[in-house]
Structures are given as C-alpha cells and as structure tokens.
Amino acid sequence: MESRRLGKTGLLVSRLGAGLAAIGEEESLEHIEKVASVLNAALDGGLTFYDTAECYFDSEEMVGRTISRRRDEFVLATKCGHGDSGLDSDAWSYDAILASIDRSLKRLRTDWLDLVQLHSCGLDVLERGDCIRALQDAKQKGKTRFIGYSGDNEAAMWAVESDQFDTLQTSFSLADQRPRHGLLVEAKKRDMGVIAKRPIANGAWGTKTSPSGDLKHQKWYADEYFKRCQAIVAEAPIPGDPGDGVLFALGFVFAHDEVDTAIVGTRNPDHMRANIERLERLPLPSEAVEELRRRWDKLDDGWTQQM
C-alpha cells in the first residue's frame, strides 16, 4: 500500500484510509466479531489511517474493543462537536469539546489521538473561536498530536485560510468536484494534510437507483450524488470507465495529487479487501479524468459540497 505524508503533520498514512461511520451506523456491539474482522482485514491489507467520530454511534467503542491492541500500527483520527457532552447545551463550547475528547480517549482505549477534528461546524462557530482554542489546548496537553477541520464550502475555506489547523477533511469525488477550484490548492499551499471524505460518492456511480435505500439511517444520504452522477453520464458514456463504480470513483480522486488519503467505509471484510485490491488497477486513463472534469464544469449549477 502506497503511503503519503499527511502534510505538515509528518504522519505517514496509506492512500486508502478506513472511514468508520458505516460500521458505527450499520452494525452494533452485538456483532463485534464482524467488526473485528473488517478492521483487522484493513490493517492486514496495509491501511494505516482510521477516521471515526464521537457521533458515529458505537464506532469509537468498536475500535477500542477490536484493534486498540494494535495501536502502534495505525494513525487514529476522530472528530468532536456533535455529541452530548453532558456539560453544556452548546456542543461547540470550550468545555464540551474537551469533554468530548476525553470521552473519545476512553472509548478508543488509547492514551493519545493522532488527530482530532472539528466535525462540520459552521462559519459562525469557527469565528467565535472557543472550539479551536479547546483543540489547541488539548494538543498542548498531549491528548492529540494534531488538530484539523472536517467540513465543506465556506467554512472549510475559512479553516484553511485561518492557518490554525494541521489538516483538512472535505468532501471530494467525481460527484463533488468543487474543491478542485481553490480549496485543495489553498490547503496544499499551506502544507495541510488533505483527507478526502465520501470519495466514492456513496457508491452512486454506475447504479440504477440511489444507494440511499440500502442504509439503515439517513435514507436520503446518497440521493444528491445519485442525481449528479446520472446527469454527468447522461451525455454519453465516459471513455475509460472500467465498469466498476468504486474503482472509477477512487481513480478520479487519486488523480488529484493534493489528496493525501481518501477514506472509504464498509462493514464487510470482503468489500474492504476488494477496495484494497482496486488500488492495484489505478491510475485511470487521463482522458477519463479530464472528461469527468469537463462535464462537471459544464453541468455545475450550484452543486455545493455535500456534508
């Protein structure tokens, strides 16, 4: 598995990372053996970047119960801001953020986090500054090595231009291309580590119906991506499309050198192994990437980033 330096953090991370929302949302602690098989398959396959959040149901607890004994083999990132801290009605307050980090450390069964990210808070919250100060203090106390922002659109650009974060996690895919017009360039100019979330557009490329129907929660989640994919392909088939939607989507994202790692979630160990094997079939033909870009630019009528 190819590794990349995650910007100025200096952390080495696998190009393909594990997004742990799907496991937390679609599985339960009653099926911890299945979760263990997925996460250990990822580690055995060379994935070294694992991204979770305090609001992904039991995701943090699952990581702690299954792979915390292999803690020195991977870079561990979580997010804060959406959970019930029990301390404050404002989840973005200074005290709530610190409480969230402490709870994450216990759930993940680790003494330190490699990266803590603010989880899609709005521009008003960022400008207020309490949550950023909390992250900075947690970093100073050794609870996390680095801090980042996970989000999109105007708030993401503000976070990049503020020079207060080590990393940016943002939506980027063949159905969410707006970041290539400025955001990714600005992040790399500042040597921020760049993490692409939702890089396979929730599996919406090449499907006949929206993948949202297969979800246990948020049964609308992939609908917008499905609509965009349908519009992009309506003109004509894309030259160089391998007929594998996940491979095509990953190939598009990895064609952009600004991206250090792209996180993909699955609760199936065979799917995890298949995703790892797909990287051996990259890169995509350059004409395919260029055509996807051309069609996006032609069709984009206000397609903002999806959270």
One DSSP character per residue, 100-115 reads HHHHHHHHHT-S-EEE
Q: What distance in Å separates the CA atoms of residue 217 and residue 202, rounded to the nearest whole number?
A: 13
Beta carbons of 127 and 159 less than 8 angstroms apart:
no
From 50, 56, 221, 225, the catalytic residue: 56
- Residue 168 carries which DSSP code? E
Residue 222 in 3-state DSSP? coil
- Judge whether 131 and 165 are in contact, CB under 8 Å: no
20 backbone φψ class: left, alpha, beta (φ>0; ψ -120 to 50):
alpha
Q: Retrieve residue 149's tokens.
A: 């922002």
Active-site residue 50, yes or no? no
Work out whether strand 12-14 and strand 16-19 pair parallel, antiparallel, or are unpaired.
unpaired
Token pair belonging to 71: 């803690």
Round to whole Å and give the CA distance between 60 and 288: 38
Q: Active-site positions?
A: 56
